[in-house]
Amino acid sequence: MTTLNWLDRPAEQGVTWGVPWRRGAVERAAVFALAGPEGRPVPVQSWVTATWPDGSVKWSAHAIGPQAEPAAPYELTARRPATDEEPAVPERPVTVVREDGVLRVSTGPVTWTIEETGDTLARSVSHGSREIARNIRLISLHQDGPTPDDAGTVTREQATGTVREVTVEQDGPVRAVIRLAGDHGGRLPFTVRLYFYAGAEDVRVMHTFVWDGDPERDFLAGLGLRADVVMRDELHDRHVRLAGQDGFLTEAVRGLTGLRRDPGEAVRRAQVEGRPCGPIGNPEVANRLHLIPAWNDHTLDQTSADGFTLRKRTADGHAWVTVPSGTRSAGYGYLGGTSGGLGFGLRDFWRLHPTRLDVRGAATGLATATVWLWSPSAPAMDLRFYHDGMGQDTFAEQLEGLEITYEDYEPGFGDAHGIARTHELTLRVHDATPSSVALAGHAAAMNEPPLLTAAPERLREAGVFGDWALPDRSTPAHAAIEDRLDLLFDFYRREREQRRWYGFWDYGDVMHTYDADRHTWRYDVGGYAWDNSELSPDLWLWYQYLRTGRADVFRFAEAMTRHTGEVDVYHLGRWKGLGTRHNVQHWGCSAKQLRISNAAYRRFFYYLTADERTGDLLDELARPEETFLAIDPTRKVREDVYTPDPSALAVGLGTDWGSLVAAWLTRWERHGDEHAKARLLGTMAGIGALPQGFLTGEARLDLATGRFDSSRDQISVSHLSSVFGLPEMCSELISLGLDVPGFERAWLDYCRLYLAPAEQQAAEVGHPLRGISLVQAHSRLTAYAAARSGDAGLAALAWRKFFLDEGDQLNSNPLQREPDWRLTRVEGPHVLAKVLEAPFVSTNDAAQYGLAAIQNLALIGDHLPTD
């Protein structure tokens, strides 16, 4: 039995979540049952998302519909399939009926009519027998140049998204998922998933688009989702609601409050509360209704993380009237009347600026509501590279540039063609105007979707994700490390806010390195700007969530996963399946590598939430080894003559193989993919057969056989090899007991020798290892060798390397040199705004400390020095 609680807060809407199971504990054909408080049976839909090598369930996914009393805890039980006990079924199951090229999805109260091809995501939406909305569609605005004040006259045209394929991924009885794929007139390919739950009035809309334009001539000026809303009520019984930061703009299309003549308190109160006004008894008002302006159009424009404007007008051709503005809109609205309407919104609305909510035609019989993912009020999206190359036309010149700005430039490589962005929207169908309290609840649930989670103790008991342990404050030394882990996360959470790490392409990422002279992060300095998963902050955050269960850590890691998996990775084109190294622009660096598109960074979120879009990202890496045909990651620093050869692909045994094995293992455990399994086991065997194992540094892979050439005998180590998920993946592989000859020995040798004394290295491999760096990060390798061997001397060495800044041949870690980790307040005319800063922190160092601390505590916490 597994106890489940809410991550943040309960919500009366459908929810999907994942649960891990110990190897051998749950058979693949098991039946799951869910009980609510006091043992009440809850209808649950379940499916398997991963299996152990023995075929038993490793991860399962579950979904429930809206609960009238969503209080926790819930109890999840796995039963043998032969049980006689009937599972609970929804009172109003979700159904999907396909007929004559049309899908009809019913949740009970609401029916969605979806055409299999065409220019809508849904042709009609009804609550009961009453149509509420129709023609739900995607729209985009395209320009052939940047904004007019930048380049003169430009042409702007509108396109509507065309659906070319519809797939039913799930069809109930609790949860249905419809996937729609298409494009905007042959460009901007999109994928939309619609999530339906039994008994629900809302549908979750997951929208992903891929940028496939030419940045020199294609400029996206607007991207949005639009719905027509049927308006039946009298003008004074029609309502518009738009969310501010704390509440809602509460408007009627024809207002009856504030007039010179009073319609009566009951009428005024009814209108403000969204109820029918009823007969207006005062003839001085009733006979003059036609003289009260009807406000046809409303707009809320979130141009930055710090401000939105509101305006409305009576009709096209008349002036806009300014409504008092605000700071951060919750991004939710309602359009309709007392007989029904549509709620609509965008999660992380202000964080993903520039965004906009539009209402048009509210005084007509068919109004429109538009959620703009990119506001047409903003300058057009400009994805051109940010400089002209400064003469860096050869590898030699580019390496010189790397030495001064840390930017790995190459002509034509700073190209956004193929990157993506995913947004989460909500549409909610109402049979009456909702109360302000209900609207606030809907907006909150949209921005922090409900999630059921197992406790950290239960996740740890399942034995997933390698080496981590629960927080331990049993001694002052343990408590000090836990305090610093908390401080590091809280520091980054604070930095995101005070440095405004928000925006359409930026939200979810963090900066790489700080500029203590300017008291800001190096947002404009080559490879020191956006981090793009450098040294695996994704892993650090997810492990910190697993061990603490903190909701704020989960939300931070979730946003990073959404960003790094979409924006920093190519989803079509010549670099499909690869990601981009850290840069001023997320796509700017010429290093296109698998270490950034790394499946290891996505697995946590996928398994904890069963998120289908993240599953797509993992599926894009079904054949990750083929990406090495596109480009040689080390082409600029090679001393040998090499071009990618399918029979002898150069694969680094650190960042490259660690990323490959993350994709293969995930593919195998999710889909039972025999190709992935063969690649995984074959390359493990190849590493085990290499004379120097992982210390070889690089091996040649034959794509036809999936095997390494194991004849290479050399010593070559890189300080980057073990900081992009390799230790975590090797630990998982060894714990699976796959019995691959020589593999565990090869990994333990590497772990044991990397930080060993130079004389020991020379004695075992003929010379001291060169290029030893990122010592604190690598202390967890020494800790792993100590834990596997029971060697107390190695455990002591690991802790010394964790705490002391010694032996680093390339870079030292300021977090080891700075004893107090104190924040300093900086303010005055020399800074843009007053800030709290920690100039000794970089994301490289934070990720090093976080992962090493978490894994060392798990592996050798009993050996932690007390002084």
Q: What is the C-alpha separation between 716 and 654, in angstroms, rounded? A: 11
Residue 424: count of CB within 10 angstroms of its CB:
20
- pLDDT band, residue 565 (cuts 50/70/90): very high
Residue type for 735, please?
Answer: S
Our measurement of the distance from residue 556's CA atom to the centroid of its chain's CA atoms, rounded to an integer in Å, reads: 9
Instruction: Kindly report each contact of residues 672-680 with a partner whose C-beta sits within 8 Å and lies 24 or more positions away, as own/partner.
Output: 672/51, 673/622, 675/623, 675/706, 676/622, 678/706, 679/625, 679/706, 680/733
- pLDDT band, residue 150 (cuts 50/70/90): low
Higher-pLDDT residue of 11 and 247 is: 247
pLDDT in tens, 297-321: 999 999 999 999 999 999 999 999 9
226-to-508, 808, 856 alpha-carbon distances in Å: 26, 56, 51
What pLDDT, on the 0 to 100 scale, is given for residue 70?
77
CA nearest neighbour of 405 among 512, 532, 501: 512
CA nearest neighbour of 826 among 493, 498, 490: 498
499-to-303, 523, 552, 834 alpha-carbon distances in Å: 17, 10, 18, 10
Phi, psi for 544 (deg, rounded to 5): -65, -35
- pLDDT band, residue 84 (cuts 50/70/90): low
Q: Tokens for 624, please give them.
A: 């990750």
Q: What is the C-alpha separation between 135 and 861, in angstroms, rounded? A: 60
Taking a C-beta distance cutoff of 8 angstroms, is the pair 119, 209 a contact? no
Contacts of 545 (CB under 8 A, 6+ apart): 553, 554, 557, 604
What pLDDT, on the 0 to 100 scale, is given for residue 818?
81
CA nearest neighbour of 690 among 639, 648, 741, 634: 741
Of 8-22, 329-343, 808-822, the poorest mean pLDDT is in 808-822
What pLDDT, on the 0 to 100 scale, is given for residue 554?
98
What pLDDT, on the 0 to 100 scale, is given for residue 218?
95
Average pLDDT over residues 701-713: 96
Instruction: Kindly report each contact of residues 672-678 with a partner whose C-beta sits within 8 Å and lies 24 or more positions away, as own/partner.
Output: 672/51, 673/622, 675/623, 675/706, 676/622, 678/706
Phi, psi for 763 (deg, rounded to 5): -65, -35
Residue type for 617, please?
Answer: L
Phi, psi for 384 (deg, rounded to 5): -65, 155
Burial of 659 (0-12, 13-18, 19+ CB in 10 A): buried
Q: Tokens for 240, please give them.
A: 């518009």
Q: Which helix (H) or strand (E) holds 396?
A: helix 395-405
pLDDT reading at 239 higher than 60 = yes
Q: Tokens for 761, please give them.
A: 């290295």
Of 36-45, 534-543, 665-674, the poorest mean pLDDT is in 36-45
User: Facing residues of 104 across strands?
Assistant: 97, 113
Phi, psi for 79 (deg, rounded to 5): -120, 160
CA nearest neighbour of 458 among 21, 154, 9, 35: 21
pLDDT in tens, 440-461: 999 999 999 999 999 999 999 9
What pLDDT, on the 0 to 100 scale, is given for residue 805?
79
What's the residue count for the chain? 867
Q: What is the C-alpha separation between 707 and 701, in angstroms, rounded? A: 6
Average pLDDT over residues 743-751: 98
Instruction: Kindly report each contact of residues 516-521 with a partner whose C-beta sits within 8 Å and lies 24 or more positions away, as own/partner.
Output: 516/837, 516/839, 519/826, 519/830, 519/831, 519/835, 519/837, 519/839, 520/831, 520/832, 521/495
Higher-pLDDT residue of 376 and 818 is: 376
What pLDDT, on the 0 to 100 scale, is given for residue 87?
82
pLDDT reading at 613 higher than 60 = yes
DSSP 685-707: HHHHHSTTGGGG-EEEEETTTTE
pLDDT reading at 90 higher than 70 = yes
Q: What is the DSSP pairing of strand 649-652 with strand 698-702?
A: antiparallel
Contacts of 683 (CB under 8 A, 6+ apart): 657, 660, 661, 701, 706, 707, 708
Please give the torsion angle defined by the CA atoms of residues 783, 789, 792 and 794, in that order, rounded to the nearest 10 degrees: -50
pLDDT reading at 151 higher than 60 = no
Q: What is the C-alpha separation between 61 and 74, in angstroms, rounded? A: 15
Residue 625, by phi and psi: left (phi above 0), alpha (psi -120 to 50) or beta? alpha
Taking a C-beta distance cutoff of 8 angstroms, is the pair 580, 595 a contact? no
What pLDDT, on the 0 to 100 scale, is given for residue 822?
87
What pLDDT, on the 0 to 100 scale, is given for residue 812?
76
pLDDT reading at 743 higher than 70 = yes
pLDDT in tens, 22-71: 999 999 999 999 999 888 999 999 999 999 999 999 999 999 999 877 77
- The residue with tokens 């007929």 is 99
Q: Tokens for 294, please give them.
A: 């009807």
Average pLDDT over residues 512-519: 95
Q: What is the C-alpha separation between 761 and 756, in angstroms, rounded? A: 6
Helices 551-566 and 612-619 sit at what angle, rounded to 10 degrees?
40
What pLDDT, on the 0 to 100 scale, is given for residue 439?
97
What pLDDT, on the 0 to 100 scale, is given for residue 148?
66
Helix (H, G, I), strand (E, B) or coil at 410: coil
- The residue with tokens 């009237």 is 321
pLDDT reading at 72 higher than 80 = no
Average pLDDT over residues 71-79: 90
Q: What is the C-alpha separation between 205 and 179, in angstroms, rounded? A: 10
What pLDDT, on the 0 to 100 scale, is given for residue 83?
64
pTM for this predicted structure: 0.97
Q: What is the C-alpha separation between 198 and 192, in angstroms, rounded? A: 20
Average pLDDT over residues 586-610: 98
pLDDT in tens, 616-669: 999 999 999 999 999 988 898 888 888 889 999 999 999 999 999 999 999 999
Q: What is the C-alpha separation between 109 and 93, in angstroms, rounded? A: 10
pLDDT reading at 763 higher than 60 = yes
Higher-pLDDT residue of 728 and 100 is: 728
Q: Is the dihedral of CA 742, 747, 749, 750 positive or negative?
A: positive
CA nearest neighbour of 843 among 491, 524, 483: 491
Q: Is the dihedral of CA 440, 442, 447, 449 positive or negative?
A: positive
Average pLDDT, the chain: 95
Contacts of 821 (CB under 8 A, 6+ apart): 484, 487, 815, 838, 840
